[in-house]
Structure 1
Amino acid sequence: MGVANFDGRPAMPIFKNNIRSGAFHQDLIRYPPRSYTDLMNRAARYADAEAGEKRKKEQEEGRGRKDKAPQEERKAPRPHRREYAEGPGLNPTRYLTPLTQPVGTILVHAEDQGIVVFPKEECMKISSRGDPNKYCRFHRQKGHDTDECILLKRQIEELIQMGYLGQFIKKPGQAQGQKQGNVWRKGGGQVPSTSAPRKRDHDHSSEEEEETTEDSKPPKKRAIYVIFGGPEGGDSPAERKKWARSLYMGEVTRAPHEKKSKREPITFTDADLPDGPLPHRDALVVKMDIKNMVVHRVLIDTGSSVNVMYYDTFTQLGLSRGRLEQVRTPLSGFTGDSIETEGSINLEVEIGTPPHTRRWEVEFVIVKISCAHNIILGQPALEDLRCVIFMEHLCLKFSTPTGVGVARGTKR
């Protein structure tokens, strides 16, 4: 309605396709409007008719309540024996969801999230049979313990039914006190907002809350995984078991630690910052020397469990497949599926700028896929290098016999 000088003919079928099924939609099919003005006039008439029908129903319901009022006044309300314990209008407590933590612990979490409603002072009653040595943090008064508070248990149950506190629901076979993953969910729904108002009515949920908790189910998201697998610790189950046993025995019968040599402290200053505006949002890509050849686009990836060399780089270095050792363990994480490797090879590499360089042997796993990088330097090589990475400065530093070496990244 806020767009001027538009063609009404294409707007009419768009309007009709987005109307919900009902009397108005049927009327548009039976008697197609001649113009967009005719369509808007007919829509206004149906809107007025719906509003009038709603007012009529409210009037009829109001008269019905007035007719029943005298009969209800004749019957004196029967007080509930456990009004203090459960509060008016609450269901019996025998259908509560099993929990992994005491209700007092859950109360602290719910209060931090701003989703708990404490009872008003004028609505609270003090029982004559209450224990003055016990204190309830929910009622903020003496008489019973927080973990025994039935009204608190009912409010926690209502919060669970509304989609909150899902991480405290006890699964079958799970012991109390055993934590689940820190996940908020209701039927796979989305995480409830922690900015919810602290005061709200728990007896009647609004239509907006019901639509949010029941109908809004976000689509399943794809995951990007780190690279894992590879021959670290052995390339077969027997070798990995032997490696694990040797580690354990080494801890028992190992010789005394050798005295570590003192290393120069590694620091970063503003002089190490790259040129250009910050933040740069670039990956750390460096260069290093392999077989007297400078290999560019070496990606530093602390999330990779192996050092990866792509097959094109392997052939450009003049290496033959005969030097490859067989790797039976596949790699995962490139595309979400397992990838068979071409094999592995140990090569001496050098990184840094003379005279502060470091040379050490790195085991690479060769994969035959296309990538924008030539090599991925993963956790094993980075740990052997004993480097310190600073992403804002876009460089890594490491100790050498002549001082601290630096490998700087290149910006896009």
Structure 2
Amino acid sequence: MSVSQSPTEEYSSMPKRAKMDISLVLGFSDEDKVGTIQPYDDALVVTLRIGRYDMKRVMIDQGSAADIIYPDLYKGLGLKSENLAAYSSPLVSFEGRMVVPKGQIRLPVQTGTDVVEVDFIVIDVYSPYTAIMGRPWLHTLGAVSSTLHQKMKYPSGDRVLEIVGSQAAARQCLVAAIQHWSEAETSTTADNGL
């Protein structure tokens, strides 16, 4: 004698499928170095969409605890001092000087289709970069950067996307910074009558 099962009983006795979670790996290999000029020690300088504009000379800096914009970008976006929120903590510039920020402003930063709202600190000092993207932005995006590979990788949905740095832009920024500091030093020496 055979016992028939209802469709529900039949379904419930079937093995259940394991839920497939895709684990994205954010890593780098020697293949990621293809196209870079070796050997080098260039900073990771990229182009990012900040506000509504593609901004060149944006430095990705894992060592920075703040996301910074400089006067060129601030003025280029048409921002005014009344657009700034107060920000009172002093920062240390590349030259080792204490710098009092002009304020803080929240702007969208787009990578691919992903948009992250970033609280930028506005600093009115010379920089060859238009902005510095530090750990707050990197961590919010879930990104990993590598100056060795001249890339930044981040998860987007079920894929890993990347932003490739520009060694030419990094070297132009380095030359501009050296030239500026040299001129500033010459000016200081002349002001001191030496």
Partner of 1:67: none
Pick one of 347, 357, 367 that aligns with 2:123: 367
Partner of 1:335: 95
Deviation at 1:386, TM superposition (A): 1.2
Kindly tell me: are residues 316 and 277 of structure 1, through their superposed partners in 2, closer, same or farther at Cα, counting changes over 3 Å?
closer
The answer to whether residue 134 in structure 2 is matched with residue 378 in structure 1 is yes
1:306–1:379 contact (8 Å) kept in structure 2: yes
In structure 2, C-alpha distance between the alignment counterparts of 1:401 and 1:324, rounded to whole Å: 33
2:105–2:119 contact (8 Å) kept in structure 1: yes
Partner of 1:315: 75
The answer to whether residue 59 in structure 2 is matched with residue 303 in structure 1 is no
TM-score by length of 1: 0.34
Deviation at 1:280, TM superposition (A): 2.1
**Counterpart code for 2:64:** S
Pick one of 131, 148, 157 that aligns with 1:392: 148
Of Structure 1 and Structure 2, the greater helix share is in: 1
- Structural mapping, 1:185-264, within 5 Å: 263-264=23-24
The answer to whether residue 36 in structure 2 is matched with residue 280 in structure 1 is no
**Counterpart code for 1:300:** I
In structure 2, C-alpha distance between the alignment counterparts of 1:287 and 1:377, rounded to whole Å: 11
**Counterpart code for 1:281:** D
Partner of 2:50: 290
2:150–2:164 contact (8 Å) kept in structure 1: yes
2:155–2:161 contact (8 Å) kept in structure 1: yes
**Counterpart code for 2:70:** Y
SS of match in other structure, 2:38: coil
- Structural mapping, 1:46-85, within 5 Å: none
Partner of 1:55: none
User: Relative contact order, CA 8 A, sep 6+: which one is greater?
Assistant: 2
Structure 1 gap segments, 5+ residues each: 1-260
Q: How many residues align?
A: 148
* Aligned alpha-carbon RMSD (Å): 1.8
Of Structure 1 and Structure 2, the greater strand share is in: 2
1:346–1:362 contact (8 Å) kept in structure 2: yes
Kindly tell me: are residues 395 and 320 of structure 1, through their superposed partners in 2, closer, same or farther at Cα, counting changes over 3 Å?
same
Deviation at 1:402, TM superposition (A): 4.8
Deviation at 1:289, TM superposition (A): 0.6
Deviation at 1:277, TM superposition (A): 4.0
2:24–2:158 contact (8 Å) kept in structure 1: no
**Counterpart code for 2:147:** M
1:274–1:394 contact (8 Å) kept in structure 2: no
Deviation at 1:263, TM superposition (A): 4.2
The answer to whether residue 102 in structure 2 is matched with residue 347 in structure 1 is no
In structure 2, C-alpha distance between the alignment counterparts of 1:402 and 1:410, rounded to whole Å: 26
2:69–2:131 contact (8 Å) kept in structure 1: yes
Instruction: Choose 1 or 2 for highest CA Rg.
Output: 1
In structure 2, C-alpha distance between the alignment counterparts of 1:301 and 1:266, rounded to whole Å: 17
1:347–1:361 contact (8 Å) kept in structure 2: yes
**Counterpart code for 1:330:** P
Question: Identity rate of aligned residues, in percent?
Answer: 30
The answer to whether residue 166 in structure 2 is matched with residue 410 in structure 1 is yes
Structure 2 gap segments, 5+ residues each: 1-20, 169-194
